[in-house]
């Protein structure tokens, strides 16, 4: 196995508040191989976006990395100074945000924003940057790119703006893209185009991608592997087909059962009773145990780490094999 | 763009007419100029002659039309007090006031904007807190008190700067300037600071509030995620987005500085329009007061127009005229 582009080990993110410290992420570990697309799913507040923000080093204060390591090609990046991390952002890790209507600065042309990004990171001249800006706009499928390069963001539609955002994330040719809900704010008809574009560009450029979304459809379409997050931890991680077809964690199973199947009609969709706990009230033991249909005594006492569950890894005591049997 | 300017100028005509009406109405209701001009001893015949001479026996609308037509040509008649053409009086005094106002605005901008940016970026530093405390003082102390305190410190105790007047001035054409002589510049410092201090603190607090707002936006986060330098993020992306409200306030405040330089000019005996206005009020010199009011109204109209044009320069969403939402 080649060395991973990104490796996250036991990441812990805390938010100090007046009423005590909230643990937003705990023991989050995963790796992304070169060219691989890792999907990250979960409900709102599960810590998906937080993981992405921690990786690009832009956690909102007072949030901070309280433990664990983040390694980019084997080099630790979680403890870098702001200026060192700035050189990595955009150059080695590109980011795509959720809402293309608000991620572009309204006062600068898209060409200027592209050129500015490239001039910050690449040893090229302004004329070359302008030329490449047009190339990138063509690459992300903006018609008449040579004219549109001097347009302002408000002159583009939402889908077109997200294409510009993708160009901005990729223009310094980073090795990894952190895409945080890149299609959530778009029309359904546009979503598929944007996903196809991301997939194609990532494959062509050999860019690895961490795709954060709550849309299982997007994950099934795009990702190679998927991590399911619940209450700040990874509940299950594995190849996307296995996780979708044969989930090993009861939470994943519940999620999958709540997706309406296309091939037959169902009267009622399955749903998971209750709600994800707030960060200030995560139960002891497995965070999912109050809602879990397969709960047993140990779940309320000990917290399960990720363990081998056959085709995937799941943080669930159902798959625990005592060392004696192993 | 040209059509826009024309339409704005046309829109301003009713405004100016309304101001003209108000200032004209003063002739009828503020004091009795006849009594002031004639003094203690006069005959009824003298009084009637003067009334006829000034046209005060004509119907209201005839008088107003005549006034407005003359005003449009820059003629406001003779000052009752000084018996000289009002236009000449104002032309003499205007350079002093305008110079003072622009220096005050320059001081307010040159110090207020950087302080606002700093306090916005480093919210919790002790220097930011010091600036904010200082700005409270600037906002709440009345102008005349600041002026008197400055005179006390820098003129009386330290003796560094003059406490009144413009110092030596140089006349270029009809414009007299104090910016070309050392004593003129020294004389400008205290009044400019006095007049600009309130604006400075206002601009600082405004820029700070706008910076805090803009720094929270997605495009600033995205600019950071693109790895742009702090300098580019703060000054290229954030500050530029705070400009529209800042331009609005600075424009209006510039008008206010010119219009309300009266207090500062009185404290420093600055020979400007404000001082002229105060003296005219004292002697019910209505032509001067009316002309001053109209001039200030014109000034506001012009400044508003310039502010609108600056919006166009700063914000491309206004230029195309089909903004599609988003921030």
- Give the pLDDT of residue A326: 46
pLDDT at B72 over 90: no
Identify the weakest region by mean pLDDT among B115-124, B198-207, B253-262. B253-262
In a domain, B203, yes or no: yes
pTM for the model stands at 0.81
> In angstroms, how far is CA A303 from the centroid of its own chain?
24
Nearest Cα to A88, choosing from A32, A162, A5? A5
Average pLDDT on B176-199 reads 85
Q: Does B321 touch chain A (CB under 8 A)?
A: no
Average pLDDT on B298-310 reads 87
In a domain, B5, yes or no: no
In angstroms, the CA B320 to CA A150 distance is 13
DSSP classification of residue A2 = P
- Nearest CA of chain B to the CA of A32: how many Å? 20
- Nearest CA of chain B to the CA of A214: how many Å? 20
- Nearest CA of chain B to the CA of A16: how many Å? 17
In a domain, B108, yes or no: yes
Q: Where are the beta strands (DSSP E) in A107-221?
A: 176-180, 208-212
Q: How many domains does chain B have?
A: 1
Over residues B131-167, the pLDDT tens digits come to 998 888 888 888 888 888 888 888 888 888 888 888 7
In a domain, B75, yes or no: no
Q: How many CB atoms lie within 10 A of CB A41?
A: 25
CB contact under 8 A, A58 and B230: no
Over residues A82-123, the pLDDT tens digits come to 999 999 999 999 999 988 889 999 999 999 999 999 999 999
CATH number at residue B252: 1.10.3720.10
Residues on chain A bordering chain B, Cβ-to-Cβ distance under 8 angstroms: 56, 58, 82, 86-91, 94-95, 97, 99, 101-109, 116-117, 120-121, 152-155, 165, 168-169, 172
Q: Which of B121, B210, B226, B315 to mutate to test the interface with A (most CBs of A within 10 A)?
A: B226
CB contact under 8 A, B232 and A165: no
pLDDT at B320 over 70: no
The residues, ordered by sequence, that sit 6+ positions from A246 with a Cβ below 8 Å of its Cβ are: A311
Q: How many CB atoms lie within 10 A of CB B252?
A: 14
Which residue range forms the structural domain that includes residue B160? 86-320
Q: Sorting pLDDT into bands at 50, 70 and 90, what band is B326? A: very low
pLDDT at A262 over 80: no
CB contact under 8 A, A103 and B219: yes
- Of all residues in chain A, the one with the smallest CA distance to B324 is A154
DSSP classification of residue A107 = T
Strand order in A6-17's β-sheet?
A20-32, A6-17, A64-72, A75-76
CB contact under 8 A, B325 and A101: yes
Higher-confidence residue of B229 and B66: namely B229
- Of all residues in chain B, the one with the smallest CA distance to A167 is B226
In a domain, B241, yes or no: yes
In a domain, B237, yes or no: yes
Nearest Cα to B184, choosing from B176, B173, B193? B176
The residues, ordered by sequence, that sit 6+ positions from B23 with a Cβ below 8 Å of its Cβ are: B289, B290, B291, B293, B294
CB contact under 8 A, A95 and B327: no
In angstroms, the CA A259 to CA A271 distance is 9
- Give the pLDDT of residue B324: 41
Q: Is-contact B80 B54, C-beta < 8 A?
A: no
Tally A–B CB contacts below 8 A.
93
For B61-80, b/e burial (b = at least 16 CB within 10 A) is: eebbeebeeebeeeebbbbb
- Nearest CA of chain B to the CA of A103: how many Å? 4
In a domain, B44, yes or no: no
pLDDT at A2 over 70: no
In a domain, B38, yes or no: no
């Amino acid at each position: 196995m080649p060395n991973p582009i990104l490796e996250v080990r036991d990441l812990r993110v805390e938010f100090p508040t007046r009423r005590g410290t909230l643990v937003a992420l705990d023991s989050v570990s995963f790796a992304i191989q070169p060219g691989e697309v890792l999907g990250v799913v979960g409900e709102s507040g599960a810590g998906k976006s937080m993981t992405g923000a921690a990786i690009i080093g832009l956690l909102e204060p007072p949030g901070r990395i309280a433990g664990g390591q983040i390694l980019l090609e084997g080099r630790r990046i979680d403890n870098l100074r702001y200026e060192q991390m700035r050189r990595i952002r955009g150059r080695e890790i590109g980011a795509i945000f959720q809402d293309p209507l608000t991620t572009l600065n309204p006062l600068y042309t898209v060409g200027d924003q592209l050129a500015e990004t490239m001039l910050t990171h690449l040893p090229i001249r302004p004329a070359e940057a302008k030329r490449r800006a047009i190339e990138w706009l063509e690459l992300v499928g903006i018609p008449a790119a040579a004219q549109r390069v001097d347009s302002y963001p408000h002159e583009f539609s939402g889908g077109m703006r997200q294409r510009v955002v993708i160009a901005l994330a990729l223009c310094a040719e980073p090795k990894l893209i952190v895409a945080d809900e890149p299609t959530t704010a778009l029309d359904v008809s546009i979503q598929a185009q944007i996903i196809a574009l991301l997939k194609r560009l990532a494959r062509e450029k050999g860019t690895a991608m961490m795709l954060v979304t709550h849309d299982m459809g997007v994950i099934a379409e795009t990702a190679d592997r998927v991590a399911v997050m619940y209450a700040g931890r990874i509940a299950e991680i594995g190849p996307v087909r296995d996780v979708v077809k044969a989930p090993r964690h009861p939470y994943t199973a519940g999620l999958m059962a709540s997706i309406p199947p296309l091939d037959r009609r169902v009267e009622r969709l399955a749903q998971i009773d209750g709600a994800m706990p707030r960060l200030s009230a995560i139960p002891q033991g497995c965070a999912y145990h109050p809602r879990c249909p397969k709960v047993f005594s140990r779940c309320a006492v000990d917290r399960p780490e990720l363990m081998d569950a056959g085709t995937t890894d799941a943080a669930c005591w159902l798959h625990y094999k005592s060392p004696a049997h192993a | 763009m040209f059509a826009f300017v024309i339409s704005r100028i046309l829109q301003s005509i009713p405004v100016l007419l309304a101001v003209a009406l108000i200032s004209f109405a003063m002739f009828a209701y503020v004091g009795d100029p006849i009594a002031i001009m004639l003094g203690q001893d006069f005959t009824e015949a003298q009084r009637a002659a003067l009334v006829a001479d000034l046209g005060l026996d004509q119907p209201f609308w005839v008088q107003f039309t005549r006034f407005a037509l003359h005003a449009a040509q820059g003629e406001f008649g003779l000052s009752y007090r000084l018996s000289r053409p009002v236009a000449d009086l104002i032309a003499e005094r205007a350079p002093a006031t305008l110079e003072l106002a622009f220096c005050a605005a320059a001081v307010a901008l040159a110090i207020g904007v950087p302080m606002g940016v700093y306090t916005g970026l480093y919210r919790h530093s002790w220097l930011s807190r010091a600036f904010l405390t200082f700005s409270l003082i600037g906002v709440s102390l009345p102008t005349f008190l600041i002026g008197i305190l400055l005179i006390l410190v820098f003129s009386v105790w330290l003796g560094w700067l003059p406490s009144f007047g413009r110092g030596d001035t140089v006349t270029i054409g009809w414009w007299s300037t104090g910016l070309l002589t050392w004593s003129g510049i020294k004389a400008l410092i205290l009044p400019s600071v006095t007049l600009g201090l309130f604006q400075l603190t206002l601009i600082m607090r405004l820029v700070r509030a706008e910076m805090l707002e803009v720094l929270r936006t997605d495009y600033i986060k995205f600019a950071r995620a693109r790895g742009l330098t702090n300098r580019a993020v703060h000054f290229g992306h954030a500050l530029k987005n705070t400009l529209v409200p800042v331009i609005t306030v600075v424009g209006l405040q510039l008008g206010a500085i010119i219009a309300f330089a009266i207090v500062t000019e009185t404290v420093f005996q600055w020979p400007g329009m404000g001082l002229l206005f105060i003296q005219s009020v004292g002697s019910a010199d209505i032509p001067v007061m009316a002309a001053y009011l109209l001039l200030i109204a014109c000034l506001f109209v012009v400044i508003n127009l310039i502010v609108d044009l600056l919006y166009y320069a700063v914000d491309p969403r206004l230029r195309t005229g089909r903004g599609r939402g988003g921030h």
